[in-house]
């Protein structure tokens, strides 16, 4: 149903009900009393190593499991927000436009080495803010809203991956962001209860219905980010062994031929793997309660 | 009481009540309304590098703490199932016989790089299934039942260690599998509650009563697997420092002289250690609630 | 308010109410029916590589969050206890004096490779015990009380950091000990409930009020210990990337340019970092529920 690559993160169900794609206006959600702003995609333009990005914070209803809608706070109307693909050495100018009329938002990019009290600060409703940074260190990084209560802004959906590819290398084949969902807008649940759903790229069992494609013997890379907000992930692929795992996606870090890899909330990794035979290979968090709550996907491997 | 090596995983209490060791018949448990099938040991035969294994899935009552019986779903009647010791380069033919009349089971071996939808599939009650794989990558791996709900099949006891020793090396001195127990057959408890017991090789404080033996200055290796189903382990040995920890048991990975090592559920490690003086040295998960619930054992170190 | 370095861990609030600093006498706490013994600082004396330490276990009221008092069991009247700074190769003679009239205590130092059943044993009320050990392996280690129920002795506050600096290196710039607080003296809460507070160096948001100082471009080292008792930490510094993380503080272990680092309960690390621009940089556990419960501090970076 149109969501078979992680780059295309807006599940069709999240765009249902005759939403008008042309405007920017907010409107009430019929179901939960929250806004359901039309997703506004980010823009990214490159001139040599100068990259200009525009992103938009919005309140949007999203689908987090089959038939389950969630009133999200978002980057660009999707959960997770868009993957930002950069190259090591890029000079980045990023403008965050807060389209949410109800509250301030902000952006903290783990790839950016800047003063947080200058650059990761709040943007008031209707306002925008521009920051610049150099993508000097390669990696698979998380970005997220940093407005307090940050646990709630993240639980509501405000996170994504920013990938800085090392000089001379290719971007990852796939990007997977793990995250948890709790009772919506319930900070106490976020702080004290187990999650209701744990998902890859925003929707429980998303890649069971729509597997990721791979070829026998083809080296793949998965950029994996654990957005949390709370729980550690145990990334595992059934039926193969992870050839090389690079902590934080940095090419100087290696773990060879491991079965499972721990990813802290707020961390990422670049994972090299391949498949020996055609078939269907699940990828999961091997923390079983996470898997049963939706942290499960599949590779469809063909000869 | 006859359980002083990890290779001998059937605690005497699990064999009480006049069980007939000669047959294979199922019978009702008097206490919990579940089956208590007689443990049927696996067989393993080696001809050069060709290894033939037979394993048996059964419902069996096991002892998980002094005086506490648990109606387990098992490999070969024990929790954990038997340790499978292989050598790098082995060609393995494994037949799983499902002796459980009540439900299908299956086996997923982290050491096997095969198509899960061909080789890790369900075996119906009374049926068997043969798979082949090459143990090409050395390591300390988990195996487990992969039948849904997998969290429950693991919580019920369906897991063990499969160790692939690198060419030219010796097998580990000891193998320790950590796991959690929840209210039996209660998937909701497995997904949302803290565990009731956290144990090494199937029984709370097992190696406090029956310590593992070691000699002063003797290099030891511990193959450690965390079967979960849910929680991360913080493996620690009181009174010494871990000389070298090899993630996933792979000889290319090293962490030197560490006090504690994180093992994700679904992961394993090979741990090199030694002791400087005679005495009693506890090994624990340093996550204290796990330790207090039974994740505690002891080395008895003699001069 | 007098608590701006981690070496000075006795927050002024813990010393309020006209406590007499000269004596050793216990007295009743007015608020919770527990003792509030006057903090007695440790002593440490060095002659060449021979180091002599005296430490004191006491029951003392401490401040764990603004306006929140906690009836702690302590080393030397503070939570965490004092940082023990050693050099690789030191010969250490440590005497533990149990000033607590109500129960035995003990000390387990992860830096010490000794027989626990000889050296980490209980010291009865009013008694003392002397142990010797060689600090042969460098690292950032935890120490803690090992008296059962150990989960409770740790939850009550009995832990600290012991740092063994490698030959030829400088001690860390800062030492940060993460820990959790539960309902006081409630073992069931420690074993089964989420924590009420998660703190750095004993007090929620301590270094938000009193930031750690740093200079632009100055290489810093943070010795980080996670005392638990239960939860894994996801150490992260907002606005920079961790240059080199040394597992267990050992100079042979490296992870380069990582955004977040997992520290198990009972583990430690030495973290190298620096800042590119003047500003305020938060350090947190990126497990958001921990952060919101107090695992948050700040660096004040000046030009
Ligand atoms: Cu926000
Ligand atoms: Cu962050
Ligand atoms: Cu099963
Ligand atoms: Cu598995
Ligand atoms: Cu104590
Ligand atoms: Cu310890
Ligand atoms: Na979604
Ligand atoms: Na696998
Ligand atoms: Na047992
Ligand atoms: Na130790
Ligand atoms: Na305090
Ligand atoms: Na950062
Ligand atoms: Zn779809
Ligand atoms: Zn630039
Ligand atoms: Zn704008
Ligand atoms: Zn026994
Ligand atoms: Zn073969
Ligand atoms: Zn058969
Ligand atoms: Zn203060
Ligand atoms: Zn000495
Ligand atoms: Zn004394």
pLDDT digits (tens, 9 = 90+) for A97-130: 999 999 999 999 999 999 999 999 999 999 999 9
Query: Is A116 in contact with C241 (Cβ distance < 8 A)?
Result: no
Mean pLDDT in residue range C118-137: 98
**Distance separating alpha carbons of residues A145 and A151, to the nearest angstrom:** 9
| Helix and strand counts by DSSP (H, E) for chain C | 5, 20
Q: Which residues pair with C41 in a beta bridge?
A: none
Contact B88, B167 (CB under 8 A): yes
Question: Where does the pLDDT of residue C209 fall: very low under 50, low under 70, confident under 90, or very high at 90 and above?
Answer: confident
pLDDT at A28 over 50: no
Where in chain C does DSSP place strands (E)?
43-47, 50-65, 68-75, 84-87, 91-98, 108-109, 128-134, 139-144, 159-165, 174-181, 197-200, 212-215, 220-228, 233-237, 242-247, 255-258, 260-263, 267-273, 279-285, 296-302
Question: Where does the pLDDT of residue B33 fall: very low under 50, low under 70, confident under 90, or very high at 90 and above?
Answer: very low
Q: ∠ CA B63-B64-B66 to the nearest 5 degrees?
A: 75
Query: Is A266 in contact with C258 (Cβ distance < 8 A)?
Result: no
Indicate the burial class of C127 (C-beta count within 10 angstroms; 0-12, 13-18, 19 or more): exposed
Could you tell me which residue, A25 or C207, shows the higher pLDDT? C207
The pLDDT score that the predictor gives to residue A181 is: 98
If you measure from the C-alpha of residue C181 to the centroid of ligand 9, how many angstroms do you get, rounded to a whole number? 33
Cα–chain-centroid distance for residue B3? Answer: 14
Mean pLDDT in residue range A156-162: 98
Among the partner-chain residues B137, B265, B267, the one whose CB lies closest to the CB of A288 is B265
Residues of B with CB under 8 A from a CB of A: 108, 110-120, 137-139, 141-142, 146, 149-151, 154-155, 187, 190-192, 228-232, 247-248, 250, 252-253, 262, 264-268
Question: Where does the pLDDT of residue B232 fall: very low under 50, low under 70, confident under 90, or very high at 90 and above?
Answer: very high
Q: Tokens for C194?
A: 């989420």
Convert the pLDDT of each residue in C18-35 to its tens digit. 333 233 333 333 334 479
pLDDT at C247 over 80: yes
Rounded to a whole number of angstroms, the distance from the CA of A9 to the nearest CA of chain B is 27
CB atoms within 10 A of CB B258: 29
Task: Identify all chain B residues contacting C110, using CB atoms and an 8 Å cutoff.
Answer: 236, 241, 259-260
The pLDDT score that the predictor gives to residue C29 is: 39
pLDDT at A76 over 80: yes
Contact A299, A218 (CB under 8 A): no
Mean pLDDT in residue range A57-85: 98
CB atoms within 10 A of CB A233: 31
* Closest listed ligand to the CA of C241: 12
pLDDT at A21 over 50: no
| Averaged pLDDT of chain B | 91
Rounded to a whole number of angstroms, the distance from the CA of C272 to the nearest CA of chain A is 15
Chains touching chain B through at least 3 C-beta pairs below 8 angstroms are: A, C
List all residues 6 or more positions away from A14 whose beta carbon is below 8 Å from its beta carbon: A39, A60, A61, A62, A63, A77, A78
Cα–chain-centroid distance for residue C93? Answer: 20
Mean pLDDT in residue range B255-278: 98
The pLDDT score that the predictor gives to residue B30 is: 38
pLDDT at A297 over 50: yes
Alpha-helical (H) ranges within B5-163 are 116-119, 150-155
Phi then psi dihedrals of residue C133, to 5 deg = -155, 160
For A264-303, give the secondary structure using H, E and C.
Answer: CCCEEEEEEECCCCCEEEEEEECCHHHHHCCCEEEEEEEC
Cis peptide bond upstream of C229, omega within 30? yes
pLDDT at C118 over 90: yes
Q: Which residue has the tokens 């997770």?
A: A80
Convert the pLDDT of each residue in A177-215 to its tens digit. 999 999 999 999 999 999 999 999 999 999 998 999 999
Mean pLDDT in residue range A73-96: 98
**Distance separating alpha carbons of residues C212 and C209, to the nearest angstrom:** 10
Q: What is B251-303 written as a DSSP string?
A: TT--EEEESEEEE-TTEEEEEEE--SSSEEEEEEESSHHHHHTT-EEEEEEE-
Closest to A88 measured CA to CA, from A136, A132, A40, A131: A136
The pLDDT score that the predictor gives to residue A29 is: 39
Q: How far is CA A255 from CA A236, B248, C300, in A?
A: 14, 9, 35
Contact C98, C104 (CB under 8 A): yes
B163: left (phi over 0), alpha (psi -120 to 50) or beta: beta
Query: Looking at beta carbons, which pairs linking C275-278 to residues 24 or more positions away fall under 8 Å?
Result: C275/A113, C275/C214, C275/C216, C275/C217, C275/C218, C275/C239, C275/C240, C275/C299, C275/C301, C276/A113, C276/A114, C276/C216, C276/C217, C276/C240, C277/A114, C277/A115, C277/A118, C277/C216, C277/C301, C278/A115, C278/C216, C278/C302, C278/C303
The pLDDT score that the predictor gives to residue C17 is: 34
Q: Which residues pair with B278 in a beta bridge?
A: none
The pLDDT score that the predictor gives to residue A209 is: 85
**Distance separating alpha carbons of residues A190 and A207, to the nearest angstrom:** 25
Q: How many alpha carbons fall within 13 Å on the CB side of residue B74?
A: 29
**Distance separating alpha carbons of residues B222 and B83, to the nearest angstrom:** 13
The pLDDT score that the predictor gives to residue C1 is: 34
The pLDDT score that the predictor gives to residue A259 is: 98
Closest to C61 measured CA to CA, from C74, C52, C47: C74
**Distance separating alpha carbons of residues A181 and A189, to the nearest angstrom:** 10
Convert the pLDDT of each residue in B139-172 to its tens digit. 999 999 999 999 999 999 999 999 999 988 999 9
List all residues 6 or more positions away from C26 whose beta carbon is below 8 Å from its beta carbon: C35, C36, C37, C58, C59, C99, C101
Cα–chain-centroid distance for residue C182? Answer: 17
When scoring A247, A255, A262 by the number of chain C Cβ atoms within 10 A, the one with the most, hence best to mutate, is: A247
Closest to A206 measured CA to CA, from A67, A65, A301: A65
pLDDT at B19 over 50: no
Q: ∠ CA C279-C280-C284 to the nearest 5 degrees?
A: 145
Q: Which residues pair with B246 in a beta bridge?
A: B270
Mean pLDDT in residue range A238-265: 98
Question: Where does the pLDDT of residue B135 fall: very low under 50, low under 70, confident under 90, or very high at 90 and above?
Answer: very high
List all residues 6 or more positions away from C45 whose beta carbon is below 8 Å from its beta carbon: C51, C52, C53
Mean pLDDT in residue range C201-220: 97
Residues composing chain C = 303
**Distance separating alpha carbons of residues B141 and B223, to the nearest angstrom:** 9
Q: What is the ipTM of this complex?
A: 0.90
Query: Is A248 in contact with C260 (Cβ distance < 8 A)?
Result: yes
Query: Looking at beta carbons, which pairs linking B12-18 to residues 24 or more positions away fall under 8 Å?
Result: B13/B63, B14/B39, B14/B60, B14/B61, B14/B62, B14/B63, B14/B77, B14/B78, B15/B39
Spell out the domains of chain C, with CATH numbers in brackets. 12-170 (2.60.40.420), 206-302 (2.60.40.420)
SS3 state at C231: coil
Rounded to a whole number of angstroms, the distance from the CA of B15 to the nearest CA of chain A is 30
Question: Where does the pLDDT of residue A146 fall: very low under 50, low under 70, confident under 90, or very high at 90 and above?
Answer: very high
Mean pLDDT in residue range B49-59: 98
Contact B172, B140 (CB under 8 A): yes
Task: Identify all chain A residues contacting B223, using CB atoms and an 8 Å cutoff.
Answer: none
When scoring C231, C255, C257, C298 by the number of chain A Cβ atoms within 10 A, the one with the most, hence best to mutate, is: C257
Q: Which residues of A181-198 are buried (b: 16+ CB within 10 A; e: fewer)?
A: bbebeeeebbbbebbbbb
C131: left (phi over 0), alpha (psi -120 to 50) or beta: beta
Cα–chain-centroid distance for residue A204? Answer: 14
């Amino acid at each position: 149903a149109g969501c078979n690559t992680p780059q295309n993160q807006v599940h069709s169900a999240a765009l249902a009900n005759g939403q008008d794609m042309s405007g920017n206006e907010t409107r009430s959600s019929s179901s939960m009393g929250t806004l359901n702003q039309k997703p506004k995609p980010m823009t990214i333009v490159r001139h040599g190593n100068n990259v200009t990005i525009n992103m938009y914070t919005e309140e949007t209803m999203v689908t987090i499991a089959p038939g389950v809608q969630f009133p999200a706070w978002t980057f660009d109307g999707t959960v997770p927000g868009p993957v930002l693909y950069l190259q090591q050495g890029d000079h980045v100018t990023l403008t965050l436009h807060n389209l949410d009329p109800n509250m301030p938002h902000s952006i903290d990019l783990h790839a950016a080495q800047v003063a947080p009290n200058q650059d990761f600060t709040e943007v008031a409703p209707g306002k925008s803010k521009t920051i610049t940074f150099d993508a000097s260190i390669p990696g698979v990084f998380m970005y997220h809203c940093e407005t307090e209560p940050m646990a709630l802004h993240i639980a509501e959906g405000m996170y994504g991956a920013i990938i800085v590819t090392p000089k001379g290398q290719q971007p990852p084949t796939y990007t997977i962001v793990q995250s948890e969902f709790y009772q919506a807008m319930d900070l106490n649940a976020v702080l004290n209860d187990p999650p209701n759903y744990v998902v890859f790229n925003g929707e429980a069992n998303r890649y069971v219905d729509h597997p990721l494609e791979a070829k026998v013997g083809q080296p793949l890379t998965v950029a994996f980010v654990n957005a949390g907000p709370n729980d550690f992930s145990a990334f595992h692929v059934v039926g193969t062994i992870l050839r090389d795992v690079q902590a934080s996606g940095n090419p100087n870090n290696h773990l060879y031929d491991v079965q499972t890899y721990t990813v802290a909330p707020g961390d990422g990794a670049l994972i090299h793997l391949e498949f020996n035979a055609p078939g269907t290979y699940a990828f999961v968090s091997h923390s079983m309660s996470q898997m049963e709550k939706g942290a499960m996907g599949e590779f469809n491997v063909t000869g």
